[in-house]
Structure 1
Amino acid sequence: MKITYKGDYSLKVILELACHYPDKLIHIEDIANRQDIPRKFLEQILLNLKRGGFLVSRKGARGGYALARPPREITLGEVVRYIEGSVYPISCIDCEAPSPCNELSTCIFAPVWRSVGDAISSIIDSVDFEKLKEDYLLKKNGYIPDYQI
């Protein structure tokens, strides 16, 4: 699995909006500046995330973008799959692949790749944007957890 710039920027947009949920709409310029995303690229990303049901928008001077759902209801996995597609490292083991592999039942590598994809899914599906927001705000404010006993 590889996260593209489009995927990385999309995750940053969701995180930025999670930090302001549900208080206010955020202008595109503010998102671009805070997350260091080129505006033209950001316009495409926002449109795509809106089409995917992640964002809502309002036009005008008091307009902007906001999350369509609470951050705790949006997982990292959901966004990654929407933007990047499958998280499996090889398409032949993906249940949603357009053409399944004819050798899947005898392929010695298939169980390994399936385990890798399942492990990735398990991790990214367990992380929601509420948790990411909390961690981000702590890190932004200079908090470093101390796990000494």
Structure 2
Amino acid sequence: MISQKAKYALRALTVLARAETGDPVQISDIADRQKIPKKFLEQILLDLKRAGFVESRRGKQGGYLLLRPASEITYGEVLRLIDGPIAPLPCLSLTAYRRCEDCDGENDCEIRHVFARVADETRAVLFSTTFADPLGEHAPIPAVLERAN
């Protein structure tokens, strides 16, 4: 499961992706539209700003806007920033690998083999889906999932 903070970050970025290019959106507008507590949203947007996803503009016409095009920001990048590694087991993490404490050997672990497929397919979806994709009629389905159907 993703955290509430990650859900809010994804929802805030969705609002910014739908905004006119170069048109900042005020925090209060994002908070109202997405029913996100304003103080929590401020923290989230600060994290997103530090990571280079958004920029802020001051003044009467100020607010937040995407720093990169929506087509270049993936759900996976944002989830990894907010929630950390995208892996169901520590031995499957690409960014924070840790051997499982009770493991006798990764090559012989049936659980790892099953969840490695889950992790790979999850990453395929998250890192191939951008914030521009849902703005169209349907987000593209990665080839790995088409084979599964």
Q: TM-score, normalised by structure 1?
A: 0.83
Shift of 1:37: 0.4
Aligned to 1:49: 48
Deviation by residue 1:94-137 (Cα, 9 ceiling, x = unmatched)? 2332533463233221111111000101111221111122349x
Distance (whole Å) between structure 2 residues aligned to residue 68 and residue 18 of structure 1: 10
Do the aligned residues in 2 keep the contact of 1:21 with 1:67 (CA within 8 Å)?
A: no
Deviation by residue 1:48-88 (Cα, 9 ceiling, x = unmatched)? 11111100001221211000000001111111111112221
Aligned to 1:142: none
Aligned to 1:38: 37
Do the aligned residues in 1 keep the contact of 2:91 with 2:97 (CA within 8 Å)?
A: no
Distance (whole Å) between structure 2 residues aligned to residue 11 and residue 95 of structure 1: 22
Q: Report 1:138-149 matches (<5 A).
A: none
Aligned to 1:125: 127
Number of corresponding residues: 135
CA RMSD after TM alignment = 1.7
Aligned CA distance change for structure 1 residues 76 and 64 (closer, same or farther; 3 Å):
same
Do the aligned residues in 1 keep the contact of 2:92 with 2:119 (CA within 8 Å)?
A: no
Q: TM-score, normalised by structure 2?
A: 0.83
Aligned to 2:8: 9
Aligned to 1:95: 94
Distance (whole Å) between structure 1 residues aligned to residue 84 and residue 92 of structure 2: 13
Distance (whole Å) between structure 1 residues aligned to residue 28 and residue 137 of structure 2: 24
Q: 2:107 aligns with which of 99, 105, 108?
A: 105
- Greater relative CO, 1 or 2 (CA 8 Å, sep 6+): 1
Aligned to 2:147: none
Shift of 1:21: 4.1
Aligned to 2:57: 58
**Off by >6 Å, runs of 4+ in structure 1:** none
Do the aligned residues in 2 keep the contact of 1:57 with 1:64 (CA within 8 Å)?
A: yes
Identify which range, 28-37 or 125-134, moves more after superposition: 125-134
Aligned to 1:84: 83
The gaps in structure 2 that reach 5 residues or longer are 139-149
